[in-house]
Each structure stands twice: as C-alpha cells, then as structure tokens.
Structure 1
Amino acid sequence: MLFIAVCLIAANLRVTIMGIGPLLDEIADDQHVSPAALGALASVPLLAWGIFSPLAQGFSSRFGMSRTVSGALVILALGTIWRSLPGPQANIWIGTALIGFGLAIGNVLMPAVIKRDFGERVPLVMGVYTALLSGSAAIAAGLVVPISHFEPGGSGQGLGWRVALLATGALIPPALIVWIWATRRPRPADPGPFLAGAESARATGGVEAAGPADDRAGRRIWRDPLAWRVSVYMGTQSAGFYMLSAWLAPYSASIGRDPVVAGIDVMIYQLFGIAGSLMLPLVARGRVRPWVPGAVPAITLIAVVGVLVAPALLPLWLVIAGTMTGSAITIALTLTASRARTARHAAALSGMAQSVGYLIAMCGPIAFGWVLGLGIGWAAPFALVWVSLAAQSVFGFSVRRQQYVLDRPERR
C-alpha cells in the first residue's frame, strides 16, 4: 500500500506545472501579455522550491514525514484550484506559488521516505518514482491543449485553459487518501544517529523526535563539498529540463507544427523520460555505473543540438533527449539518497540539493524567454540549454566516487 501511495504522489509532483508550457500562448492571449513575459510563470514553482525546500526537514522533524507530506498535498490541491479561478490575473500567480510550496515539501521528503522505507530496493523504487514523474508530466503536456479546446455538446466554445489546468489536479485527492491510509500507523524509525530512538517516534504518534543533531545536520550540510556538487548537478539538470519543457511547444509551433502536435512533441519528450528512468537501474551497473552521471547529459547535449540544427528529425531528437533526461532526473534524485548514510542525512541533502538546484533552475526559463524576446532567433536561447547540459556533465563526473555527505567529524 505504501508503494502505491508513493506512486500516486509521484504522479502529482510534476503534472500540475507541466501543463503550463503547451498553454503558454493561449494563456498569454487571454491575459494580454506576451508569451516571453509569461515564461516567468514557469519559474515561479522553481523559485518556491528554492526558497522552501530547506524548510521541509524542519517540518518533518516537528510533525513527522507522513503528516508533512499530507499537508503538502492539501496545499497542492488548494493551489491548483486557486490558479484556475476566474478574476484578477494575480490568481494564476498566487495559485502557482502555492503549488510550488506544496511541491517543494513533497520533492524533498519523498526521496527520504523511499530511503527510510525501502532499504535495498531504493534504486528500483526511485526508478519507478521518477518514471512516474516523467510519465504524469508527459500525459499533462499531451492532454491540456485537447482539454482546453474540447467543446462539450458541440457548443462551439472550448473549455479553456483554466479547466485544463484544473484537470491536472485530478489525482491529488486519491493520492492523499491512499497516503493517509498507508501511513496511519507509525513508520519505522530511521536507525541513523540523528534519531533519539524508536521509542521517541512511537511516543509522539510517529512524529520523529528532533534534537540538536538534526539542526546541526541542516547547518553542516551547507559546508559539505560533496553536497554542493550534488546540488549543482541537480540545478543544471533541472535548468535544462524546465527550459525545454516550457519552450519546446512554442519552438515546435514556430517551425510550422500544429499547436496540438506541438503539445504532443512535449509529451514525447516527457514520455520517453519514463523509459530512461526505468532503464537506468538496468544499465548503470558494474564499472559503467560511476560514469553514467556525466555521460547522460553529454548525450542529451547532442540531441538538443539536433533539435535546432536538424528540426526535420525533431521526433527522433526528442526521443533521445527525453530518454536521457529521464535517466538524469533519476540520477539526481538517487544521488540525494545514495550519497547519504541515513534517512535524516538524505532529507538534509535533498533539502539543500533542491533548494540550490531549483534556484539555479528557475533562472533557466526566465533567461530563455528574455533572450528569445530580443528577437535574435532560437539559437541564442538554445545555447543556454547547451551550457547547462555541459556543466551538468562536468559535475556528473565529479560525483562518480561512492562517498557520503557529513562523513567528516564536525569541527568545534
């Protein structure tokens, strides 16, 4: 049941924001702003992740992982509804910010939950988890435009972008119900040194006790060189991913493809991320494994160059880029678990990696839109994606050794 709950939550952690890209032009027309200016909307969740991710560990220590994740799902549902409300333009921004806050907590804690509850099956479960991140995002990207254009009863008027974005929250209620049911009993305590003991978890109804060591872990992680390398890897990976997710549909339309087909292009990119996520545990074995974090973005770079220089082969490039991107997401999330000895260390590393990572990532869609708005063509903004992938490859090779954060004694 817990595995099903994790899968349902994973299906909600990207779908609510991945529907924005294919609808950018429609939203811009309705709100009377340029698509380039509206590109900042894609960065709002990333900004929220950067700001609020470090708070996730504190919420978890105070209320327990299970209750904190439940609260995050409630906030996610509220934001999804608020974003689709008619009225002032501020609704879409406020709703998106709430969505970002809810996702920030879920993004940080779910890898720690997997680390805590699935033991040696972490790589497999993380692969399924990230496959669902990509899969749900792909479905959202492919369906939001048809939903928006759907004319019920032949009315001649489509449902519109508000209904399409509201539909992206359809799986939040079942995810919340299954999660509460699966975690109704206290979860196993983290056996690491940061826990005061299993008895403390039981005495507080499953709320893991926090102590001075928890606060020290949260502070020390920011001084750990390995944690910074993992964080920058997360950031460069996310920057490239969100630039492509936000601007792939407008680029596809600009080369003469139908808007619905452009949305399907994004779906192809996202959908093949599932294959990459599931394929990674099978490929990243033995002597090859340490080199995978650096090799995957290098292959992605070749494909993204192809998107611009050989657009006639766009579906092929998207299959390659999507597969490699799905693998890279799995790698980034797995590093937050595999480079930590305990679930609490993993939560601290995940909080830092997602805070730093998404602060880096938020600059991507904004910078892409700003450069595109200069009117100098698509090559310049795509160069930002290329630089991001090249940097990701460098940092991927830098984390190839099996090391652990916070392994060095604390200086007093």
Structure 2
Amino acid sequence: MPDRLLSPRGGRLLGVLGIVLIALNIRTAVAGLAPLAGLIDAEIPLDATAIGLLGVVPPVAFAVSGLLAPWVAHRIGLERALLFAVVTMIAGHLLRGAALDYPGLLASTLVVLMGAGFGNILLPPAVKRYAPGRIGAVTAAYATMMSISTALPPLIAVPIADAASWRLSLAVWGAVGVLALIPWVVLAARPPHPVVTEPVTVIEVDAPSTSADADVADPVDEPDTRQFGRLARSRVVWGITIPFAVSGVTAYSTFALMPLLLEDLAGVDAARAGALVGLFAIVGLPLSLATPVITARLRSPAPIMIVSVVAFSVGFLGLLLAPTLATPLWMIALGAGQVLFPMCLALIGLRSRTSHRAVTVSGFVQAIGYGVAAVAPLALGVLRSVTGSWMPAIVILLLAALSTLVAIPLLRSGEMIDDELERRRL
C-alpha cells in the first residue's frame, strides 16, 4: 500500500466528512423505534415493561461504550474503531428489521446502540485529530447532525411503515449507515503517520490550521492502563463530566417521563404531550450549531453554564409552580438548558492536547454521564409511584441542574487536562 493514499488536506476533508456522516447515524436507532411500537406490537408483543426496557438500553449501551471504546481505539487505531462502530450500527439496523421475537429485538437494539455508543465516544477525538484548528466549527456541524438524526426518524418512521412495513422502517437506517462507511474504509486503510498534534489553545481555536496539523496523528505508544484512575483526579475532567451528566439526566428523564408528567400536571392529552416534548428536542438544533463555536471562543465556559442553569430553573420552576400557565415556554426553557451537551462535546477536544488524550477523556466523561442518565428515569419513576406526586421528581431535577454551578470553578482557569495531569505528577 502506498505510504500516502490521500494528501494531507484530502485526509482531513475525508475525516470531517466521515465525522459528520457518523453523527447523522448515532441517534436514528434511538428515535426510530418508539413511533413504531404500536405496529411492532401486532407481531411482537410489547407491554409497558418491554418498552421500558428498550428505553433503558441507549444510556446503558453508551455508558458501556465509554469503557470499551477507548480500549478498542488504542489497540486497533481510531479510524478502525470508528469503522467498527459504523459496521456494527449497520448490522444492528438490519438485525432489528429481521427480529422474530422480543429477545431478538432487544439484542439487535443493543447491537446497534453499542455501535452508536462507540461513535458517540470517538467523535470528539476524531475532531481533535482531523480538525484541530476547527474544533468549534466541526463539533457544531456534527452536533447539529446528531440533532437532525433525533428529529428525522419520528417524522418518517410511520409513513415508511405504512407504505411498506415496520421492519423496513427499522432496517432502512442501515442504508444511511452505508454512507458513513465509505470515508472510514478509506481512512482505516491508510497507514498511521506518527506525527504529534500541535497543541491547540482554548482561545481562538478556530484560527486556520497550520502545516503541523497535516496528519494530526498521535504517538502510537501503548496507553497507560491507569488513565481512567488518573482522570478521576482531574478537576478539569470533572468540570466537563458534571455538566455532561446533568444534560444526560435531563434529556433521558424528559423523553421517558415528561409525557406522563405533562398529562398529569398540565392536563394535556397524549398527542399534545408528545408535541411539547418534540418542542424540547427542536430547541436543541440551533443550540448545537452555535454552542461549540462559542465555547471555542471563550477561555471559560462559565457564561454558557450560567445560561443553562437559568434556563433549567425557569423550566422546572414553571412546571412546579404553574404547569398549566405557559407549558410551551417551560419546555422551550428546558430545551435551552440542554446547551450543556454541545458545550461538553467541544470541551473534550478543546481541553485535550492530542486525540490520544481526547479518546480517554471522552470515554471517562460519557461513561459516567450516561451511567447516571441510565439510572435517573427509573429512579424518578419509582419516586413518582411511591409518593404519588411528580413534585419530588421535579425538585430533584432542579437540584441536579443547579449542580452545574459546581463545575464553573473547575473550568475557569482554561487549563488543559494534559497540563494538569503533568503538574499533579510532579
């Protein structure tokens, strides 16, 4: 194989294209199943428990991926790990469409979401590798594609099922995965070039890339098996992990519980409740586009976190004190609070000096964040059943949102994770 299959510029462009196309696939498996539950139930019985278990799979798969993806990437390379993620997503989509019973549906859902989880973990370091001088802009692009991949499946899943079948409606997303396959097949075939990535500062990170970024590959040293333990002692890492976990808890609790909450407290019917949750999701689209770019321009993300806390407080206090007064406004406010998610995705790259470091940071942050998010909806649902009221659950979500303030002093200095770890080692 020739030493250079692509020019440095061609490799960067192909890498960015691959990042964006993977992002378009990450949430289709999550968003494409729920609208089809009634149709699937005619062939594969789905009671409330079965649907609830399917709803727990995404954050659990993403949390497990946070532990496994860095290990895989360090051993087979970032590009091959992303290729594995795409192949796994495609296979999972096809297996879901062919599922004959509930265990098959559950297992295939786990497969596709493990692939999506690997993509979730490895996209921030891929941005660090292929766009080190454009972290804000490229993160904005892929976060926006993730928002689109959340909003699109519910719109077309039922029409496709009505025109053909629910099986085709589930399997068709595998075809979208094929688009993402092409760039990573090419990039995985390139031999690695051990050129150290130039350090990227937090301020003005969107400045044009230099020639030192040509291959933007990291050293191929064997990774330190104690890296997760070291990261757990980093205040900067916890400064990213805390808001990421808050975002995950809020998002998964909203999607799982908010329809029932709105029916009980706001007195709306199921269709109206679903539309209000959709409003929450739509707000994330412009935020995904703007937030990473803004984050890259700031020395400290404190202003973004303060905006998020204010928005969450307005939303949760509105639901707590006046749920029927301006329900759409409360949902818009909660959606605006989700500005934390694209901010954290950008910070993973901005506060890491190499994509090698960003892999482990992304794994740590997302394993913990999604682990907490997996438990939250179930715990809050049990709390509702025990107390007979949604008020305790809303108060807990409000307190969780306020905990974002703890992360502000952890990130205020603008320090890089690598520098902090090196300083602590001395």
TM-score by length of 2: 0.79
- Match 2:352 to one of 334, 340, 357: 340
Structure 1 residues 132, 142: CA separation in 2 closer, same or farther (over 3 Å shift)? same
Q: 2:149 aligned with 1:139, yes or no?
A: no
Gap regions ≥5 residues in structure 2: 1-12, 199-214
- The unaligned stretches of length 5 or more in structure 1 are 153-158, 194-201
* Aligned residue in 1 for 2:311: 299
Name the residue aligned to 1:317. Answer: 330
Change (3 A) 1:393 1:14: farther
Question: Are the counterparts in 1 of residues 44 and 100 from structure 2 also a CA contact under 8 Å?
Answer: no
Is residue 230 from structure 1 mapped to residue 235 from structure 2 by the alignment?
A: no
Identity %: 24
Structure-1 residue corresponding to 2:178: 173
The alpha carbon displacement at 1:380 in A equals 3.8
Q: Describe the shift of the 1:288–1:221 C-alpha distance in structure 2 as closer, same or farther (beyond 3 A).
A: closer
**Contact 1:84–1:165 (Cα < 8 Å) also in 2:** yes
**Aligned-residue offset at 1:12:** 1.0
Pair 1:271 & 2:276 matched: no
Paired amino acid for 2:20: C
Give yes or no for contact 2:96–2:105 (8 Å, CA) kept in 1: yes
**Structure 1 residues 28 and 143, CA, compared in 2 at 3 Å: closer, same or farther?**
same
**Equivalent residue letter for 2:369:** G
* Cα distance change, pair 393–17 in 1 and its aligned pair in 2 (3 A): farther
Q: Deviations over 1:5-36 (max 9, x none)?
A: 22111111122113345556776787656536
Q: Work out the CA distance in 1 between the residues paired with 2:116 and 2:392.
A: 31
Which residue in the other structure is 1:199 paired with?
none
Structure 1 contact 20–246 (Cα < 8 Å) conserved: no
Rounded Cα–Cα distance in structure 2 between residues aligned with 1:238 and 1:190 = 35
Q: CA deviation at 1:141?
A: 3.6
2:87 is equivalent to residue 74 of structure 1: yes
> Retained in 2: the 8 A contact 1:336–1:350?
yes
8 Å Cα contact 2:19/2:142 also seen in 1: yes
Looking at structure 2, the residues matched to 316 and 360 of structure 1 have their Cα atoms a distance apart, in angstroms, of 27
Any conservation in 1 of the 2:124–2:358 contact (CA below 8 Å)? yes
Return the alpha-carbon distance in structure 2 between the equivalents of residues 190 and 170 of structure 1: 35
1:264-286 deviations in Å (ceiling 9; x for gaps): 43333222211112232565555
Q: Does 1:55 align with 2:68?
A: yes
- 1:205-251 Cα offsets, whole Å, 9 max, x none, are x9976424544545522332332332232222111111112333454
Structure 2 residue aligned with 1:127: 140
Aligned-pair CA distance for 1:187: 6.5
- State yes or no: 1:369 paired with 2:381: yes
- RMSD of the TM alignment (CA)? 3.4
8 Å CA contact 1:139, 1:267 repeated in 2: no
Task: Compute the displacement of 1:349 (Å).
Answer: 0.7
The separation in 2 between residues aligned to 1:29 and 1:35, in whole angstroms, is 14
Contact 1:47–1:358, Cα closer than 8 Å, also in 2? yes
Alpha-carbon distance, 1:359 to partner? 0.9
Q: Deviations 1:79-134 (Å, cap 9, x if unpaired)?
A: 22333434321122212221232122111111001011112210111112112212
Give the number of equivalent residue pairs.
392
